[in-house]
Every structure is written in structure tokens, then in C-alpha cells.
Amino acid sequence: MASLEIKNVRKSFGSTEVLHGIDIAIEDGDFLVLVGPSGCGKSTLLNMIAGLDEITSGEIIIGDEKMNDRHPSKRDIAMVFQSYALYPNMTVEKNISFGLEMRKVDKAVRKQRVAEVSQMLQIEPLLKRKPGQLSGGQRQRVAMGRALVREPKIFLFDEPLSNLDAKLRVDMRTEIKKLHQRLGATIVYVTHDQIEAMTLATRIAIMKDGVLQQLGTPQEVYDQPVNLFVAGFMGSPSMNLLPVTLVKTDAGVAAEMKQASGESVHLPLQANASYERWIGKTVTLGIRPEAITDPGSAEQSNDLVTQIDCEVTVTEPTGADLFVFTALGGEEVVARMRSNSGATAGDKAPFSFNMDKAVLFDEESGKRI
Amino acid sequence: MSNIVQNSGVDSNRFWRVLIYTTLLVFALFYLLPLFVMLVTSFKSLDEIRQGNMMALPEVWTLEPWFKAWGSACIGLTCEGIHTYFWNTIKMVVPAVLIATILGALNGYVLTKWRFRGHRWVFGLMLFGCFIPFQIVLIPMSQVLGNLGIAGTTAGLVLVHVTYGIGFSTLFFRNYYEAFPTELVKSAMIDGAGFFGIFWRILLPSSGPIIVVTVIWLFTNIWNDFLFGASFNAGEGAPMMVALNNLVNSSTGVKEYNVDMAAAMIAALPTLFVYIVAGRYFVRGLMAGSVKG
């Protein structure tokens, strides 16, 4: 187990720079998820931590040791690949023990470690089989076993679940989380799936175009996104982003929206000194679907909860909830209501906005105010 | 109505099938005719051959020509048959095939999984080597062999054949390894396997089909080579094909067609054997290699 520090790491292929100075530091036992759309450089960064890609500039430090010029096998890491990369000519047992064998671990010790790991992952009956005879989920387990058996300082996962079907993916997700809790291992995990990122991580690093957008706990990233990209990327359905004008009211600062009918709606905002200088200007209001509810499930005691009647355009029942779509200030807005809230398409329904959870962004730079 | 149409459809289909298979059969038989003549001639006595009926089966089957070809036929001035030359060829083919295959596999491995600047050029030049006609290199090659002090030896011929062989073996292995997942190599690297460790433990065990292709290809080419053998090693250590030529051209009065045919059959049997045993892997391996790359 060890901490990981990535200091101003850059990567260029020829003259094009794909990673523009990444700084990330995590503690021993952290579960770091690198998330972002494809092409954002997250896999490249992982390969650089593993030593499979050269570092153009900057430093990668595992524990207290600089890893830049160290061979992958000497970094004390283990990696689970998206394709699992199981050696097709070896049995499961050989696959798992190969790394130990290469490190000249004693045969008896190897056998024992393989037994422990295979018991932990419940793959004992598969030990004598070849990878070609396994299902996707089984291969996934074997790949994890191969990483676990080495007891490395850091585990690296490169989109390990993306080749599994939806049901299995959720199951394996929980299992990886359990494993992390039990082993207390330091993990770096790459995915493009923001739900995986939220559920697994203790630290999320959101990347876009080779730039680190935000590093924080899942809750921080979700509640206080630093910019419009993070706000839109995390969460499903994604955050409602509406153009509003800030106005001063008796109670403080409020966001003003023009309805299609011409009347304007005021939504009171949290007291925040930095809002003052934006008064009279247009900004982007971000509010999560779950902060817009039916009045029955809103926190009525909160002063910042405002109720507005709007026309429902579409409803999407998910069973547990009802996603209700309406138009506000010319933009489509999604609200998350109880499934029995009774909203029906075409009718007017009351929407409760919990503005306590709202965030504001500068329209031009996309940064949070 | 529709029944009738369907029936006639089946009928015409059957008609074409029969026609196609008949044609194929005729051509196949025609193609096999020389082999047939060789075989029956090699089992006939000289008297029977003189009767002039080339296609007829032997009235009396005899293995005498085969024994003679193997052990006592005259080649030049020595009358010991072709068996020493047969072993000469084995001594040349086996090391040449092994070395060229191993080097080709290593080249393919490096050219796909350990790429270096200019790897395309290197591969291009090796490919180019495949298409240089043998005749062009005869004189420079004999100079090189002379300088190395291995002119006129089996070792010299092995060197020549390895040089020509690695072009093709590299091509085969490169295309095969191109489709081999690089993540496996990365994974083995993290597991602590080195350059040769990955090669021996991961790549080679998965290379069965392409090894078969390469071995068949090289074996056939080197076994059947006449030009290099005749140019660089025509004496005592000459390979089979050169000896066969000498045997046919050494006349001791009577032309012994049966012995000539038997000797030719002996010379062709190993390649025939390799094709029959491993032929289906050959096609399969060629396909596997050509899917990607």
C-alpha cells in the first residue's frame, strides 16, 4: 500500500501535447477514479503510472519513490486491463501465478497465494481451465486475481467492467468496492462511466482534453462542480443549466427568469458575497433534477425552497421516481418527483425548487461563481 | 405451379453440380498423371519399360529400382546411390529451417511489439529481400562465402538459405503478431517478464499455426532448391536435388528410367509428407495471418 503523487505530468506524442500538466495526489488506501469522455487522456495517464508510456515531463511518485525511469515490473503495481489480457496458452492457475513465478517466488508460497486469492474471488473450480473456456465475468475475476496475488502497492484498473453486460457490471462494481474496503488497497481506476466513478471512488479526478478539471470526493464533485463541464458530466439525468439574470430583492439576491408567457419568475439564492458583482448580468444557473421536486417531498422549512407552477411537457416513470420535464426560461428542465406525485403531461403542476442546492456559473468562462 | 419451378431449379442445380465436379475430376486426374507415370515406372523392370506402354501397371511389381536408387546407383564416378546426398540435404534443411523460423519469429516480435524508429523501413527492406531473384546474388554470395571460409560446405548453404528464408518468415510472423493483443505483452511486462521471457512464455506458445506455415514454406523451398546447391556445393556434400540431376545425367550405357523415377520419388517424398501431415494447418495459418496486417 502506498500513496501516489502525480506532479505536473505532461505527455506529448510528437509535437502534440495530450496531457497538459496534471497534478493529483492521493493518500494510502484511496480509491482514485479517473473519469472523462474518450480521448481525455485518462488511459494515457494510467499507462504512465504503470510505466507503459513514457513521461514527457513531470514526476510520478509512488510511496516516497520517484518512478519516472523505472521499469513497469519494478514499480510494484498490478494492472487489470479492459480486455483482461489473460495469457491464452496458460491455465487460470498459471495465469495467476505467472507474476510470482517471474519474481522467483518459491513454488510452495505461490501455490498457497493462488489458493488464497482464488478462494477470495470464488474461482477455485476454474483453476485448471484455460481463459478461452471462461465467461466474461469469470475472466474478469481471474484478471483481478492475477493482480491481487501480487499484493502490489497500487492497483491500476483500465475500464475493467466495460466488456461486461449491464447486470454483471453492477455486481462486479459492488465486489470491487468490497475488495477495496477489505484490503484497504490504493487503487487507480479509469472509466468513462460517471456512475462507476461516483459509486467506487473516494477521490474523483475529472479530465477533459488532457486537462484535470476537478479533483475531489464524489460528493464535492457532485455538489460543487467547478465548471459547466463537470456539472454536465457528473450525474444522470444531468444537471439543469438555465440562463438567468441576477437581481437584487428584499431578501437578498435572486435569479430571474423570463417565462414564455412574458412574466418573470424569481428564485431566491443563498447569501453569497461573490454574487453581488454579478447583479444585473446573465449567468448560468445549475440545479440538479433532485433539487426540483413536487411540493410534498420538498424541505418546506427551508427558506430557499420556492414553488412555481409550470406546464408539464413529458413524464418519464422509472418506477422509483418520476422524471418530469418542463420548460423554464426557454430551456428544458428535468425534475425528480415521487412516482405518485400525479404530474401528467399537458397539465400544470407545482414544482418546488430547492435553491439551497443551486450553483451559478459564468456563462463565458464556464467557471463556477 | 411454384412446385414445378422449384423442382426444375433443383434439377438444373444438380446438372451444374455434376458438370462442375466432372470437370474438376478430369483436371485433377490430368494433373496427377505425371505422378502416376512416375510411380508405375519406378516399380517396373527395365524390360517392361522397353515395351513402351507408359501408362500400364507393372506386370511384375519390383522394388529393385528403389533400392538401387537409394544404395547403388552411379552418380558421377561413385556408385553408392543417393542416400548420402539425402542426408546432406537433411543436414542442410533442418538447421536452415530452424534458424530462419526462430529469427523470423524474433523479427516479427520486435517489429510489432518493440517498435523502434524506422521499423517500417526495416520491414520494407526485408520484404524487398523476398523478391530478389536468386540468380542476381550468386556471384556476390560466392564471394561472401569464400571470405567467410565456408564455400562449398553445408554450413555455407545453411547461411544462404537462412538469409533468403528470414524475409518470408519475418513477413509471416510480423503479420501474425500484428493481430496479437499488445495488452498481453504489457501485462507480462508488468508481471516481470523480460524481452525473451515474453517471447518464450507468451508469444511462441500461441504461434502454432504460423510456425507450421513458416516451416512448411521454408522446408519446401530449401528442400527443392537446386540453384544454390549446384552453385555453392556441387561435390561430395551436394544436396539431394543436385545429386538427382547428376544421377539422371550419369549414363552407363543404358538409361535406367525406373531408377531415375524412384530417385525422383525419394527426393519428393519428404515435402509430400510434410504437406499431407500439416497441409490443413498451412491453409489455416495463412488465413489467420492474413486477417489483419
Cβ(B290)–Cβ(B171) below 8 Å:
no
Give domain A240-361's CATH superfamily.
Nucleic acid-binding proteins (2.40.50.140)
What was the pLDDT predicted at B289?
A: 46
Q: Give residue B83's pLDDT band: very low, low, confident or very high (50, 70, 90).
A: confident
**Residue B71 φ then ψ, to 5°:** -115, -25
* Reduced DSSP (H G I as helix, E B as strand, rest coil) percent helix, strand, coil of chain A, to 5: 30, 35, 35
Q: Give residue B239's pLDDT band: very low, low, confident or very high (50, 70, 90).
A: confident
Rounded to whole angstroms, the Cα distance separating A345 from A341 reads 12
Q: Check CB contact under 8 Å for A79 and B187.
A: yes
What was the pLDDT predicted at A2?
A: 84
Q: What is the mean pLDDT of residues A238-258?
A: 86
Looking at the complex, does the CB of residue A54 fall below 8 Å from at least one CB of chain B? no
Q: What is the mean pLDDT of residues A94-121?
A: 90
Mean pLDDT, chain B, rounded, equals: 84
Annotate A24-40 with DSSP letters as a single string: EEE-TT-EEEEE-STTS
Q: Strands A305-317 and A321-328, how do they pair?
A: antiparallel
**Residue A323 φ then ψ, to 5°:** -85, 125
pLDDT(A358) > 80:
yes
What was the pLDDT predicted at A216?
A: 93
Grid cell 423570463 in the structure block, residue = A258
Residue of B nearest to A98 (CA): B191
Beta-carbon contacts of A66 under 8 Å, excluding residues fewer than 6 positions away, are A59, A60
More confident residue, B231 or A203: A203
Helix intervals (H) in A51-165? 92-102, 107-120, 136-148
Q: What percent of chain B has pLDDT over 90?
A: 19
Rounded to whole angstroms, the Cα distance separating B53 from B35 reads 16
What was the pLDDT predicted at B293?
A: 31
What was the pLDDT predicted at B136?
A: 87
Mean pLDDT, chain A, rounded, equals: 89
Q: Check CB contact under 8 Å for A81 and B193.
A: no
Q: Give residue B81's pLDDT band: very low, low, confident or very high (50, 70, 90).
A: confident
- Each residue of A34-63: pLDDT tens digit? 999 988 989 999 999 998 888 999 999 998
What was the pLDDT predicted at A1?
A: 66
Cβ(A95)–Cβ(A142) below 8 Å:
yes
Rounded to whole angstroms, the Cα distance separating B282 from B269 reads 18
| Residues β-bridged to residue B196 | none
Closest partner residue to A99 among B186, B191, B202, by Cβ? B191
Q: Give residue A302's pLDDT band: very low, low, confident or very high (50, 70, 90).
A: confident
Strand order across the A186-191 sheet? A77-80, A154-158, A186-191, A31-35, A203-208, A211-216
Q: Give residue B288's pLDDT band: very low, low, confident or very high (50, 70, 90).
A: low
What was the pLDDT predicted at B251?
A: 67
Q: What is the mean pLDDT of residues A333-342?
A: 88
Q: Give residue B285's pLDDT band: very low, low, confident or very high (50, 70, 90).
A: low
- Each residue of B92-151: pLDDT tens digit? 899 999 999 999 999 999 999 888 888 899 999 988 888 888 888 888 888 888 898 888
Q: Check CB contact under 8 Å for A102 and B191.
A: yes
Rounded to whole angstroms, the Cα distance separating B165 from B171 reads 10
pLDDT(B6) > 50:
yes
Q: What is the mean pLDDT of residues B183-210?
A: 89
Residue A286 C-alpha cell reads as 445549475
In this structure, of A245-254, A260-269, A314-323, A334-343, the range with the lowest mean pLDDT score is A260-269
Q: Tell me the domains of chain B and their CATH numbers.
A: 2-71 (no CATH), 83-290 (1.10.3720.10)
Cβ(B83)–Cβ(B72) below 8 Å:
no
What was the pLDDT predicted at A167?
A: 87
Task: State the count of interchain CB pairs (< 8 A) between A and B.
Answer: 57
- Each residue of A171-198: pLDDT tens digit? 889 989 988 998 888 999 999 998 999 9
Closest partner residue to B192 among A50, A73, A83, by Cβ? A73
Residues on chain A touching B193 (C-beta within 8 angstroms) = 73, 98, 102
Q: Check CB contact under 8 Å for B181 and A73.
A: no
Q: What is the mean pLDDT of residues A83-101?
A: 90
pLDDT(A11) > 70:
yes
Annotate A257-299 with DSSP letters as a single string: EE-TTS-EEEEE----GGGGGGTTSEEEEEE-GGGEE-GGGS-
The predicted model scores a pTM of 0.80
Give the CA dihedral B14, B20, B26, B27, nearest 10 degrees: -160
Residues 71-130 of A with CB under 8 A from B: 71-73, 77-79, 81-83, 85, 87-90, 98-99, 102-103
- Each residue of B246-258: pLDDT tens digit? 888 876 677 788 8
pLDDT(B292) > 70:
no
B84-111 exposure pattern, b = at least 16 Cβ within 10 A, e = fewer: bbbebbebbbebbbebbbbbbbbbbbbb
Q: Strands (DSSP E) along A134-185, which ranges?
A: 154-158
What was the pLDDT predicted at B236?
A: 76
In angstroms, what CA-CA distances link A163 with A138, A159, A167, A191, A196? 12, 8, 12, 12, 14
Q: What is the mean pLDDT of residues A302-330?
A: 87
ipTM: 0.80
Q: What is the mean pLDDT of residues B271-291?
A: 70
| CATH class of the A4-233 domain in this structure | alpha beta
More confident residue, B280 or A163: A163
Looking at the complex, does the CB of residue A13 fall below 8 Å from at least one CB of chain B? no
Residues on chain B touching A104 (C-beta within 8 angstroms) = none
pLDDT(B38) > 80:
yes
What was the pLDDT predicted at B274?
A: 84
* CATH 2.40.50.140 segments of chain A: 240-361
Beta-carbon contacts of B254 under 8 Å, excluding residues fewer than 6 positions away, are B46
* CATH 3.40.50.300 segments of chain A: 4-233
pLDDT(B212) > 90:
no
Residues in chain B: 293
